[in-house]
């Protein structure tokens, strides 16, 4: 592609999105640039503090459990208090708790504060996703979610490299650095990001409030909970790249640096391909994309059963990373279109929880299967889960009422407009 073509593609990728989105995007990037705790907690506890691997695993589980607990609570806060207040509370709480965690010494104190950090750091996600749905036009949402996902991975890639050097100097510096960047993220939100929660329209006496959405409402929404359940299966597959893959590579006699090399392919490909791939898929039928991405994810991990060298492992990472690039913005778009505007916080909270629960279950699943049956069975299980998810999406999406003119549209219309009518925001 020529330079002029690249400039045109870049302009089309970023054009038309509101200024508020870019400030929110900036806050996401800043936040992920400071991701230190989640990346180096295990090394910090085992190498710097001298605790056992079992204790490090317990702390990681408590950190993940905190995310599960806060998902639903943050969703309720997002709808009741607003998107902006929820983000500020979450970010300030994260900054304080991360800083405190760096000074904890007693094992019980470390575990307790790690649980709080997990709650606080996960609490902003429903608010961020709900705000993006509020401020971005339906035809631009897939592109916006893709750009945000790109920022998350770019920030994580940079922070992982930087945190490695920081950890060699001082783990405490890493904790304080994350606290400072999270605080900066809160400052950006406070100064530049306005509230976007839709206002309740006037209604006649005795008419139900349009925003009368409770957690029980979400749970009774069968098709939405179907999407959440399928999202859990897909998340369970992708989590194996961080819990099952390093163990399997270790059993093949490969080192931690070999795993680092293989998994680095994931971040590099997402940063390099997320935007161009999204440009290609954003006008395609999301139903087909979810089916295909589930199959590619499952069988991409399934191919790992035949890997034995760093190069082959990296090749399998390339396959399932492509599925991740397609699945992430498409799945988020479906979640938004199935969520009523005045209940987006609760709906997004339930969706976020599916990933948090998967992060808890995945280590247990990989450990049990590898210990009792071997790594090959784990990768076969991933292939089965991908097939089940794809079949589930096929069944569920047949029942979704998606207007045909939108499904058949081309470059000017995005998948989110295929939703049932939602209140203007």
Superfamily (CATH) of domain 19-194: MFS general substrate transporter like domains (1.20.1250.20)
65-83 burial, b at 16+ Cβ within 10 Å, e below that, comes to bbbbbbbbbbbbbbbebbb
What's the angle, vertex CA 203, arms to CA 202 and CA 207, rounded to 5?
155
Domain boundaries, the chain: 19-194, 213-419
Q: How far apart are CA 320 and CA 295, in angstroms?
A: 9
Number of continuous H segments (helices) and E segments (strands) in the chain:
17, 0
Query: How far lies 376's CA from each of 23, 241, 266, 304, 306, in Å?
Result: 45, 14, 21, 8, 8
Q: How far apart are CA 404 and CA 175, in angstroms?
A: 51
Residue 374: Cβ-neighbour burial (10 angstroms; 0-12, 13-18, 19+) = middle
Residue 312: Cβ-neighbour burial (10 angstroms; 0-12, 13-18, 19+) = middle
Q: What fold, for 213-419?
A: Growth Hormone; Chain: A; (1.20.1250)
Domains 19-194 and 213-419 share a fold: yes
Per-residue pLDDT of the chain (425 residues; tens, 9 = 90+): 555 655 666 666 677 789 999 999 999 888 888 777 776 777 788 778 888 877 877 887 888 888 888 888 888 899 889 999 999 999 999 999 999 999 998 999 999 999 999 899 888 888 998 899 899 988 888 888 888 888 888 887 787 777 767 777 888 888 998 899 999 999 999 999 999 888 765 554 444 454 567 878 888 888 889 999 999 999 999 989 888 888 888 888 887 778 878 888 888 898 888 888 887 887 788 889 999 999 999 999 999 999 989 899 999 999 999 999 999 888 888 888 888 888 888 888 899 889 888 888 888 888 888 888 888 999 999 999 999 999 999 998 776 654 333 333 333 333 333 233 333 33
Q: How far apart are CA 218 and CA 348, in angstroms?
A: 10
- H helices of 193-221, in order, are 215-220
184: Cβ–Cβ under 8 A, 6 or more apart, which residues? 30
This prediction has a pTM of 0.77
Residue 286: Cβ-neighbour burial (10 angstroms; 0-12, 13-18, 19+) = buried
Answer whether 99's CB lies under 8 Å from 176's CB. Answer: yes
Strands (E), 182-260: none
């Amino acid at each position: 592609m020529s330079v002029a073509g690249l400039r045109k593609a870049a302009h089309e990728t970023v054009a038309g999105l509101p200024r508020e989105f870019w400030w929110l995007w900036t806050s996401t990037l800043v936040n992920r640039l400071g991701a230190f705790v989640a990346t180096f907690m295990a090394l910090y506890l085992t190498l710097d503090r001298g605790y056992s691997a079992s204790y490090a695993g317990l702390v990681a589980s408590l950190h993940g459990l905190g995310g599960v607990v806060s998902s639903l609570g943050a969703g309720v806060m997002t709808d009741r208090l607003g998107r902006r207040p929820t983000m500020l509370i979450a970010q300030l709480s994260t900054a304080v708790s991360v800083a405190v965690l760096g000074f904890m010494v007693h094992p019980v104190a470390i575990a307790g504060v790690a649980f709080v950090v997990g709650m606080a750091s996960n609490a902003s996600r429903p608010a961020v996703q709900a705000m993006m749905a509020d401020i971005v036009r339906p035809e631009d949402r897939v592109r916006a979610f893709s750009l945000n996902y790109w920022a998350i991975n770019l920030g994580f890639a940079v922070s992982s490299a930087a945190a490695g050097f920081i950890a060699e100097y001082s783990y405490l510096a890493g904790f304080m650095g994350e606290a400072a960047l999270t605080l900066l993220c809160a400052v950006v939100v406070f100064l530049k990001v306005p509230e976007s929660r839709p206002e309740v329209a006037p209604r006649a006496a005795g008419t139900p409030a349009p925003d009368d959405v409770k957690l029980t409402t979400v749970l009774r929404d069968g098709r939405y909970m179907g999407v959440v359940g399928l999202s859990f299966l897909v998340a369970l597959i992708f989590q194996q790249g961080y819990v099952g893959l390093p163990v399997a590579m270790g059993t093949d006699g490969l080192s931690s640096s070999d795993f680092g090399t293989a998994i680095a392919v994931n971040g590099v490909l997402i940063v390099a391909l997320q935007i161009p791939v999204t440009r290609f898929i954003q006008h395609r039928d999301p139903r087909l994309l979810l089916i295909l991405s589930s199959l590619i994810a499952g069988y991409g991990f399934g191919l790992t059963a035949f890997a034995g060298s760093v190069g082959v492992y990296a090749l399998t990472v390339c396959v399932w990373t492509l599925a991740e690039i397609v699945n992430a913005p498409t799945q988020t778009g479906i979640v938004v279109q199935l969520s009523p505007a005045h209940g987006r916080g609760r709906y997004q909270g339930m969706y976020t929880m599916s990933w948090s629960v998967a992060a808890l279950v995945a280590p247990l699943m990989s450990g049990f299967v590898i210990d009792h049956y071997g790594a090959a069975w784990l990768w076969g299980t991933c292939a089965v889960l991908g097939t089940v998810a794809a079949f589930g999406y096929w069944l569920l999406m047949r029942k979704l009422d998606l207007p045909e003119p939108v499904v058949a549209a081309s470059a000017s219309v995005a998948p989110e407009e295929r939703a049932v009518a939602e209140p203007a925001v």
